[in-house]
Amino acid sequence: MTLEKARNISIELVLQKMNYTPSKKIGFDIWYSSPLHEEKTPSFKVNTKINRWYDHGLQKGGNVIDFISIKFNYSIPEVLKFLENYSDESIFSFQKQESIEFNFTETESKIKINKVIDIQHFALKQYLENRKIYFYDNEPFLKEVHYEVNGIKYFGIGFQNQSNGFEIRSKYAKVCIVKKDISLVVKGYKNKLRIFEGFLDFLSFTNTYKSDSDFLILNSIALINRCDEILSNYEEIELYFDNDAAGNSHTKSTQEKFKNAKDCRTFFKDFKDLNEWLINTIL
Mean pLDDT of all residues in 177-188: 90
CA atoms of 41 and 24, how far apart (whole Å): 12
Confidence of residue 170 (pLDDT cuts 50, 70, 90): confident
What is the per-residue pLDDT for 112?
A: 83
What is the per-residue pLDDT for 138?
A: 87
CA atoms of 272 and 88, how far apart (whole Å): 37
Per-residue pLDDT for 165 more than 60? yes
Residue type for position 79: V
What is the per-residue pLDDT for 99?
A: 38
In the DSSP assignment, the letter for residue 268 is G
In the DSSP assignment, the letter for residue 273 is S
How crowded is the C-beta side of 13, counted as CA atoms within 13 Å? 23
What is the per-residue pLDDT for 108?
A: 44
Confidence of residue 68 (pLDDT cuts 50, 70, 90): very high
What number of H helices and E strands is found in the chain? 10, 15
Residues in the chain: 283
CA atoms of 47 and 51, how far apart (whole Å): 6
Q: Cβ atoms within 10 A of the Cβ of 199, count? A: 26
Angle (CA) 68-156-101 rounded to 5° is: 115
DSSP SS3 for 145:
strand
Confidence of residue 234 (pLDDT cuts 50, 70, 90): very high
Q: Cβ atoms within 10 A of the Cβ of 246, count? A: 13
What is the per-residue pLDDT for 183?
A: 97
Per-residue pLDDT for 30 more than 80? yes
Query: What are the phi and psi torsion angles at 35 (to 5°)?
Result: -80, 0
Q: What is the DSSP string of 4-57?
A: HHHHTS-HHHHHHHTT---SEEETTEEEE--SSS--SS--EEEETTTTEEEETT
Mean pLDDT of all residues in 201-225: 95
Q: Cβ atoms within 10 A of the Cβ of 111, count? A: 20
- Looking at the chain, the whole-number percentage of residues with pLDDT higher than 70 is 91
Confidence of residue 66 (pLDDT cuts 50, 70, 90): very high
User: Which CB contacts under 8 angstroms, 24+ apart, belong to 79-85?
Assistant: 79/6, 80/1, 80/2, 80/3, 80/6, 81/1, 83/1, 83/6, 83/9, 83/14, 84/1
CA atoms of 283 and 142, how far apart (whole Å): 24
What is the per-residue pLDDT for 89?
A: 40
More confident residue, 39 or 261: 261
What is the per-residue pLDDT for 190?
A: 78
Per-residue pLDDT for 207 more than 80? yes
84-129: pLDDT as tens digits: 877 654 444 444 444 343 433 344 446 788 999 999 888 889 899 9
- Looking at the chain, the whole-number percentage of residues with pLDDT higher than 90 is 61
Q: Cβ atoms within 10 A of the Cβ of 62, count? A: 14
Q: Looking at the whole model, is its pTM more than 0.75?
A: no
Mean pLDDT of all residues in 119-148: 90
* Domains along the sequence of the chain with CATH: 3-86 (3.90.580.10), 89-177 (no CATH), 183-279 (3.40.1360.10)
What is the per-residue pLDDT for 238?
A: 98
Per-residue pLDDT for 149 more than 90? no
